[in-house]
Amino acid sequence: MKQSKIPEDDKRIVKPNFITEIIDDDLKSGKLDYVITRFPPEPNGYAHIGHTYASFINFMLAHDYNGRCHLRMDDTNPLTEKQEYADSLAADFKWLGWDWGEHLYYASDYFEQLYELAIRLIKDGKAYVDSLSEEEIREYRGTVKKAGKESPYRNRSIAENLKLFEEMQAGKHAEGSHVLRAKIDMASNNMKMRDPLLYRIVHASHYRTADKWKVYPMYDFAHGLSDAIEGVTHSLCSLEFIDNRAVYDWLVDNLFETNKPHQYEFGRRSLEYTIVSKRKLLKLVEGNYVSGWDDPRMPTLSGLRRRGVRAEAIRDLASRIGVARTNRTVDISLLEYSIRDDLNREAKRLMAVLEPLAIRISNLDEVIELDAAMWPNEINKNESRKLSFANKLYIEKTDFSENPAKGFKRLSPGEHVRLRHGFIIRCEQVIKKDSEIIELVCSYLPDSLGKSVEGIKVKGAIHWLSEIDAIKAEFRLFDRLFSVANPESGEKDFIEYLNPKSLLIKNGFVEKTVLKEAKDSRFQFERLGYFWQDPIDSKDSALVFNRIVSLKDNWAKLKTVLKTEAKVHVEGIAKDPSLDFNKEQKQMLSDILSLGIPREEAILIAQNIKLGGLLKEAIKTHNNPKDISKWIVNELRRELKDDSEEIKLKARDLANLIALIDEGKINNRIAKDVFAQMLKTFEEPEKIISQKGLGVVASVDKLEPIILKVLTENQDKVNAFKAGKTGLMGFFVGQIMRETKGQASPQIVQKLLKEKLK
């Protein structure tokens, strides 16, 4: 197995964030020496844009740390899951660029092990078969303000529970007649811990295990235990699972002695003008509101791929929106910006006319060949193609106005425009039939190729095609599927917010040069947008082009998008929540920013006035606002259920904990253990350290023998280090931290190691 190591910041794909800090600490302290993450989609539908962010975090963190990420199909519900979905998910994630090597797993791989673990819980008196109905279970669970009450079946004997559970698996009981529950605490403040369900009866065939099983594990049971079975070190999931973490830890702690993974939650990222509910996406497909799961307007990865979006653009979006602890809605313009930014470097420039208006050049009898570049100057590619300037041309109908409004900068009677890569022309005559314009008669200026003409004022430049170069084609212009930013939050059914202009079809002409290019090439049709051939419907005899994205943001100013992008990249947020702050929160934010706290941290603290007060009080004891702020955001805040919860931690104790770190008396690893105890007992950090015998081992006399032992036992790695593999320093530090149970001073260890390894 390769060794995980802490990457240099400028080489990270995932920019430093609270998760990377956790992993860095784990590697430095020796808690682990190899990083394993996992991404566990449920195969009950197709992959969508919502999967991108979570999968990016898991796969790219593993990549950064030279670890690995597993792809695991969370297939514990036989009623909704199919092999078709599992295969499509794997194909989509492979297209996205994720690499799991041999590590493709299914939760159903572990059904036998999970069943045996459930039996163990029953035998240990920690699980029981409950025969309450679903409604009764809900009633007995209580409310947030009212404790639950125990089921009358909670105290069944171990023998009876085993017998019933085995009968459930043998198919002797009807669905809904029994469930297996953990025996935890019906009065817990966390309702998830009130005897959570572990197994239910389902008489349905599973797409992988057929009819072998009649009981199936619940998500909370299968999730953490599958992580433990696979040796996952960091189980990363979105914020809605924060309350489930207690169940996760309880199950892992009660069933595993080693390989104990831990769950960490990050804020979700939703996208404007988009839905990702599989149930609602299915409604769009089955109601024929779209042409299928791969309709280019759909937020599915197959839809985006068919539209022509490249995986590089989607990965770029995921990297831009950052990792944070709070949920955010991302402006869809940021996705469109990433697509344009990617295609600007990849797409050749050609011309197409979507709504043709014929032009006859009255003073031209020959065909003039023109050279036209296929790349903009900044891309620095010299490739070009030939354009035929002849007496029969096509321009866009919208580039001509017989009665132009003020400021119209295209062609009109008696006015001049320049043809892209060509000559200046002047409109001499408008020919109509039944009041409809059918042709324009124009003249061209022979001396105007590539230069201006004295005395001639040109209105603008327009694209065109000659009849010689033009090939018929269908153009599909896609726009946002919904007309409102959040189609799920309104009073109406989301279907009523569908954008009636999300698909427009035009029949025009494309430059014949496209026939020389690969079918999967992307093009910028000048002034119109980025296009590619539809991979299913386009044929050489009947070309069909999908517009991937327009050249400009027609919904918002690009300037705003770039400001948002910069905010996202630097702060990990897509919109500034301080815009919604009340007067007291705004004043608190101002006070915290004045302390030099980074803006994202300041916003998170100012959202909860109590946290802001704690920070201001703590710095009176120990004036290190930046480190105290980090502990409040990264450690304390995630332990609070909501902003109304009382904060019992004393500001003085938090300040003293940071002071102990600054003085070198404890390291971060020890500090986190002490902090966790402080939240339980509210004791002073010094007292906890004394009781547990904690403290940093900084003595050279104590550390040198340990260092020599580690180097002697790992002579092959010592030789590799001396040969240039300096990244092994992290391995040596980790081994020594393990030998000292995390209590060695990493700084002194590194100093001594450098001396010994010279």
Q: Which residues are catalytic?
A: 42, 268, 278
DSSP-derived letter for residue 478 is: E
The answer to whether 509 and 478 are in contact (CB under 8 A) is no
Q: Please count the other Cβ atoms lying within 10 Å of the Cβ belonging to residue 271.
A: 23
Which residues does residue 424 pair with via DSSP β-bridges, in sequence order? 418, 445
In the three-class reduction of DSSP (H, G, I as helix; E, B as strand; rest coil), residue 137 is classed as helix
Q: Which of 153, 168, 156 is nearest to 125 (CA)?
A: 156
Locate 718 and state its tokens. 């010592």
The distance of Cα 228 from the centroid of its chain, to the nearest Å, equals 24
The distance of Cα 335 from the centroid of its chain, to the nearest Å, equals 12
DSSP-derived letter for residue 531 is: E
Locate 732 and state its tokens. 């040596």
DSSP-derived letter for residue 123 is: H
C-alpha to C-alpha distances, 82 to 88, 98, 605, nearest whole angstrom: 10, 22, 44
Cα distance between residue 699 and residue 697, in whole Å: 6
**Residue 141 φ/ψ, nearest 5 degrees:** -70, -20
The answer to whether 162 and 104 are in contact (CB under 8 A) is no
C-alpha to C-alpha distances, 335 to 53, 119, 319, 522, 687, nearest whole angstrom: 12, 48, 11, 18, 52
Which position has the token pair 């934010």? 589
The answer to whether 415 and 427 are in contact (CB under 8 A) is yes
459-461-464 Cα angle (round to 5) = 130
Cα distance between residue 751 and residue 704, in whole Å: 11
Q: Which residues of 97-117 are buried (b: 16+ CB within 10 A; e: fewer)?
A: ebebeeeebbbbbbbeebbeb
Cα distance between residue 551 and residue 682, in whole Å: 58
Which residues does residue 471 pair with via DSSP β-bridges, in sequence order? 510
The answer to whether 503 and 522 are in contact (CB under 8 A) is no
In the three-class reduction of DSSP (H, G, I as helix; E, B as strand; rest coil), residue 551 is classed as coil
Classify residue 505 as exposed, middle or buried by CB count within 10 Å of its CB (0-12, 13-18, 19+). exposed
The answer to whether 701 and 673 are in contact (CB under 8 A) is no
The answer to whether 169 and 116 are in contact (CB under 8 A) is no
Which region holds residue 125: left if phi is over 0, alpha if psi is between -120 and 50, else beta?
left
Q: Residue 126: CB partners within 8 Å, gap ≥ 6?
A: 182, 183, 254
